[in-house]
Amino acid sequence: MTTFTTTLTAADRTVTVPTGLFLGGSFRAGSDGETFTVTDPATARPLVDVASATEADAREALDVACDVADDWAATPARDRAEILRRLFESVTAHGDDLTVLQSLEMGRALPDSRSEVAYGAEFFRWFSERAASIRGDYRHAPSGSGRIITHHRPVGPVLAITPWNFPLAMATRKIAPALAAGCPIILKPAQLTPLTMLYLADLAREAGVPDGVLQVLPTHEARRVSSLLGDPRLRKLTFTGSTAVGQALAKTAAETTVRTSLELGGNAPFIVLSHADVTAAAEAAVASKMRNGGEVCIASNRFIVHEALAPAFTRAVTERMAGYVMGPGTDPATTLGPMVSAEQRDGIADLVDTALDEGATAVLGGERVTTAEGAVDPAGFYYPATVLTGVEPDSTIANTEIFGPVLPVQTVASDEEAVRVANDTPFGLAAYVFGERFPETLDVAESVQAGMVGVNRGVISDAAAPFGGAKQSGIGREGGFEGIDEYLETVYLAL
């Protein structure tokens, strides 16, 4: 009998993880028996094969979701809240397993994976508290003709599509509000990193999530699951990923008027104003850039520094970036693991090569890893911590999301120019502003066209804060008080 589990060992820990589709409350093979391989980014060797969902599997998952939707919506909010709280406690209790699992399948350093476990778990705790506090409204019509009553109901079955760079948290910030609102959810994890979500599905079952309320469908061909957008029974799409893919999915979702929230690409500016504390700015800049090895949608991408501070800022960030130690993510000595794939590594390298051709200078790094060094296997997908200077606002690297450990510095002559350069992009996910004269710094922060702005801080993610972008960086918000609204419909009763 097939058990659909495998055992992985790393960092002195053995983790048992499911490898089947999680459909209707159990793990199973895909309907055509196909699998795909999850690769170890540190060595380029196979880790494990995972079942691949078909269109038929996706339709079956939607059938199941529709069957359980009314019962889950009718489940008392307090009961839903308690299940979510148990999930928070379970993720926290299994944090060591999840930490190792993420570093194995994604390659990143253990401290980054450990931080994501805490962050991802927090969405279950936060939305457990929101589940029992969904409010309506009662008021007199201004005309005096009657009463206006509003209440909320769950939108219905949800399709969630998540990226590879945060395999736990990008999913929990969708699953938690959906379950809190009373919606069943079908989740397609990224092909590169499905193991974390399959492990979570097992925890959800143990925490009491009813069969069919959460289903997880890994697949090697995304359109097999996104084909559900053509089914009018699906009522919500939530997607995190590239702008191009998100826009294409939204176009398809519009054909059946599916409610949509999108968290898309970014090109985050990190502005160092003329009156900034250089030491504090440099420390935050590296934290903002190097979290998760730079593979973060809100990572600083353009470092826009007043020319008077640029030399000192460059020296300070270079000193800090030089301290990163490359190696397998599961090695406790590692602070910079490999990139998630060869394609990702090569894209970063091509961007740096182009920047150098366009006149930039590499003051640190800037070359592909081609030989073994310490624990680094040259077959792995490594790229070193890199600092570039002489970057121009119209350069390729200043207008492309890097998604890697590359810190490009460009200079401006005034704070006004900094704002102008920062806003000269179709994206507006996150931004960072550093300055010591607070009124002026706040003026700049409010002038930057982004959905999230860090003021004198380089790390801004918080389950209790609304996460989302402006312009082509997305629609809607996740987390915060606003996050549950994406899964609720407002109903007006006229009396």
Catalytic residue chosen out of the listed positions 263, 295, 401, 486: 263
pLDDT band of 219, cuts 50, 70, 90: very high
| 417 annotated active-site | no
pLDDT, tens only, 353-365: 999 999 999 999 9
pLDDT, tens only, 317-366: 999 999 999 999 999 999 999 999 999 999 999 999 999 999 999 999 99
Predicted pLDDT at 372:
82
Provide CB contacts within 8 A for 257, sequence distance 6+: none
DSSP per-residue codes, 235-298: -EEEEES-HHHHHHHHHHHHTTT-EEEEE----EEEEE-TT--HHHHHHHHHHHHHGGGG--TT
pLDDT over 90 for what percent of the chain? 98
3-class SS of residue 11 = coil
Q: What is the CA radius of gyration of the chain?
A: 23
Does residue 315 register a pLDDT over 70? yes
Predicted pLDDT at 1:
40
The structural domains of the chain, ordered by start, are 5-264+474-494 (3.40.605.10), 268-455 (3.40.309.10)
In degrees, rounded to 5, the angle at the alpha carbon of residue 438 between the alpha carbons of residues 432 and 439 is 105
- How many angstroms separate the CA atoms of 374 and 377, rounded? 8
Q: Are strands 474-475 and 259-263 parallel, antiparallel or unpaired?
A: antiparallel
Predicted pLDDT at 2:
58
pLDDT band of 20, cuts 50, 70, 90: very high
CA distances from 469 to 36, 46, 124, 338 (A): 33, 36, 22, 28
Read off the pLDDT of each residue in 184-210 and give the average, rounded to a whole number.
98
Answer for the pair 381, 41: CB distance below 8 angstroms, yes or no. yes
Predicted pLDDT at 375:
84
pLDDT, tens only, 55-99: 999 999 999 999 999 999 999 999 999 999 999 999 999 999 999
Read off the pLDDT of each residue in 133-146 and give the average, rounded to a whole number.
95
Distance of CA 119 to the CA centre of its chain: 11
Read off the pLDDT of each residue in 234-249 and give the average, rounded to a whole number.
97
Predicted pLDDT at 371:
84
- How many angstroms separate the CA atoms of 206 and 208, rounded? 5
pLDDT, tens only, 420-477: 999 999 999 999 999 999 999 999 999 999 999 999 999 999 999 999 999 999 999 9
Structure tokens at 122: 């927090």
From the CB of residue 137, how many other CB atoms can be counted at a distance below 10 Å? 11
What is residue 207's DSSP assignment? H
In degrees, rounded to 5, the angle at the alpha carbon of residue 460 between the alpha carbons of residues 456 and 462 is 145
Answer for the pair 431, 297: CB distance below 8 angstroms, yes or no. no
Answer for the pair 187, 160: CB distance below 8 angstroms, yes or no. yes
Instruction: Find, among 58, 53, 16, the residue nearest to 36 by Cα.
Output: 53
The H or E element spanning position 138 is strand 137-140
CA distances from 83 to 89, 128, 180, 427 (A): 10, 8, 9, 37
From the CB of residue 5, how many other CB atoms can be counted at a distance below 10 Å? 14
Give this prediction's pTM.
0.97
Predicted pLDDT at 35:
98
pLDDT over 70 for what percent of the chain? 100
Q: What is the mean pLDDT of the chain?
A: 97
Does residue 248 register a pLDDT over 90? yes
Predicted pLDDT at 3:
77
